[in-house]
Amino acid sequence: MTLAQFRKRELQAKLTSLDQDLTDWVGKTSKPPLSRHRSQMLRAEAKIRGLLSIFEGNQQWTDAKEDTILAKAASWEKLVLTAHSVWDAFRGKLALRLEPRFAETLAACDDLVWECYEPALQRFLPGHKKEPPLVYLNSTWSPFLRKRETPFAQEIVEGLDAEKEKDPELVKTLEQLPVPLLGLPWFQVNHLPSALLIAHEVGHAVESDFGLRDAIRDALDAALSDPYEWKLCASEVFADLYGCLCMGKYLAAAVLDIMVASKDAVAQDTAFGRYPPRATRAGLLVEALTQLGQVAAAGEIRARWESVYGAIDSSPDVRSVVKAIYDGLGLKTLMGLPGDVQDLADNAGDGANIANETNARRLFCAAREVYERGFENQMKKAAPLLVRQIVNGQKAQFRYRGAPVKDEAALKNKLQNDLKEDFNLGVAWRKQLGLDLD
């Protein structure tokens, strides 16, 4: 065999290994525990198949002459490795769900994501074709969202021509391909109360997926005489306020946790940037709860902050910003607050039956309530019980955009048009990347 023939065989092996892995994972998602993610898996597969469809029945590939192989091998390999990279962005996140220690907690977090995301989906873009964020574990110190364009912009286009990365059509294509990925710190598997910050990250997904960026900034323009500084941190402010809609005072408490610093650091934190100053951020959380009718809860959060750092920011601008976002975007009626979870926390802390509750937002809030009571023995009982209750209460075998689906046949029926579009997006992406065979 010649060098060119060896090179062709190597590329074929890379194609075959990806095909086999995709087929294997399609099988894995046909049954629990991964059946919740079948629609995400099938859509990812369709995009990758579209990306690689140029190899199917193409004589330039199947009957490649030696000179053609020598000339084209590098670009063909880039196409194959791009497909592997696309798949890797999903594969590792799904594989975490096969590890028994993580499986139930990740499933519970997936359910929380959907309950926070779905009301905005129905309000702002019913019939939207994008899937809710996929939760995974990583080494960050707090949850964060990698938006739909981010995984591919960072992981896939490295090595492309620099001018290609600036191509607006390429950027547009990239934004349509992935599901957003919501990273959780590894420790949250053992510390459920801080996972409430998921609601904040869902707020970022809502802003991005439903095109709310301009509406948020327009609302600030209308409400403030000088909105410049507020626009710098508008996305983080929106995410905090959205999180309060989802989880009430328990989200506010989780945000306070991650703002803890020395008294001097907080006193010197006066500049607006990606985030508002800490005292202002605390003031926004208190004002959000107040405008949502949770006056007593607002008082609790205020007292918790002020007992350490002194007065929160209660300026007219804080009130105006909260009102502008909640009223200007019509968010107050988006979803009901979790409500009183005291009884849930009592029962969970005692290890008692909570079989009548299936709402993931309420069950996560109950975990935070038990945690805030400070009894470690109760938390040890409550956390696994609450996680199991969320998973068992939301155990539809298949889902479409997060919602339960009757069976796999119904799922396939719903996915027909989506999968065709995904395949075509894969083809379009390949062309935008300049990775066709000829």
User: Of residues 66 and 156, which shows the higher confidence score?
Assistant: 66
Q: Is 141 inside any structural domain?
A: no
Q: What tokens does 83 get?
A: 């497909």
What is the mean pLDDT of the segment spanning 33-47? 86
- What's the burial of 21, exposed, middle or buried (CB within 10 Å: 0-12/13-18/19+)? middle
> Average model confidence (pLDDT) for the chain?
86
Q: What tokens does 377 get?
A: 């023995």
291 and 385 together in one domain: no
Q: Is 60 inside any structural domain?
A: no
Residue-level pLDDT at 155: 47
Residue-level pLDDT at 254: 96
Report the C-alpha gap between 391 and 375 in whole angstroms: 24
Q: Is 364 inside any structural domain?
A: yes
357 and 265 together in one domain: no
User: Which neighbouring-strand residues pair with 399?
Assistant: 404
How would DSSP label each residue in 331-343? Answer: -TTSS------HH
Share of the chain above pLDDT 70, in %: 88
322 and 363 together in one domain: no
Is the predicted pLDDT of residue 325 greater than 80, yes or no? yes
Report the C-alpha gap between 99 and 107 in whole angstroms: 12
292 and 384 together in one domain: no
User: Of residues 370 and 137, which shows the higher confidence score?
Assistant: 370
247 and 276 together in one domain: yes
Share of the chain above pLDDT 90, in %: 49
Q: Is 264 inside any structural domain?
A: yes
Is the predicted pLDDT of residue 138 greater than 80, yes or no? no
User: Which neighbouring-strand residues pair with 181?
Assistant: 134, 146
348-407 confidence digits (pLDDT tens): 999 988 878 889 999 999 999 999 999 999 999 999 999 999 888 766 568 777 677 877
Choosing from 393, 411, 432, the residue where a domain stops is 393
274 and 317 together in one domain: yes
68-77 confidence digits (pLDDT tens): 888 888 888 8
Is the predicted pLDDT of residue 145 greater than 60, yes or no? no
Distance of CA 407 to the CA centre of its chain: 25
249 and 305 together in one domain: yes
Residue-level pLDDT at 228: 95
372 and 288 together in one domain: no
Q: Is 310 inside any structural domain?
A: yes
Q: How many domains does the chain have?
A: 2
* Predicted TM-score (pTM) of this structure: 0.84
Is the predicted pLDDT of residue 171 greater than 70, yes or no? no
Residues 6+ apart with CB under 8 A from 347: 353, 354
352 and 388 together in one domain: yes
- N residues, the chain: 438
Local structure of 184: helix, strand or coil: strand
pLDDT confidence band for 136 (50 / 70 / 90): confident
User: Of residues 18 and 58, which shows the higher confidence score?
Assistant: 18
Q: Is 239 inside any structural domain?
A: yes
Q: Which residue shows structure tokens 């300026």? A: 315
| N- to C-terminal Cα separation, the chain | 25
Residue 403 main-chain phi, psi, to 5 deg: -90, 150
Residue-level pLDDT at 141: 64
pLDDT confidence band for 437 (50 / 70 / 90): low
249 and 311 together in one domain: yes
Q: Is 257 inside any structural domain?
A: yes
Residue-level pLDDT at 143: 61
Residues 6+ apart with CB under 8 A from 384: 104
Is the predicted pLDDT of residue 62 greater than 60, yes or no? yes
What is the mean pLDDT of the segment spanning 91-102? 88
Choosing from 375, 393, 411, the residue where a domain stops is 393
166-180: b (≥16 Cβ within 10 Å) or e: ebeebeebbbbbbbb
Report the C-alpha gap between 251 and 197 in whole angstroms: 6
383 and 289 together in one domain: no
Residue-level pLDDT at 396: 59
What is the mean pLDDT of the segment spanning 204-214? 91
Highest mean pLDDT out of 6-10, 82-86, 185-189, 355-359: 6-10
Local structure of 269: helix, strand or coil: coil
218 and 311 together in one domain: yes
Report the C-alpha gap between 201 and 150 in whole angstroms: 14
Structural domain including 218 reads 213-328
Residue-level pLDDT at 159: 40
Is the predicted pLDDT of residue 167 greater than 80, yes or no? no
Q: Is 87 inside any structural domain?
A: no
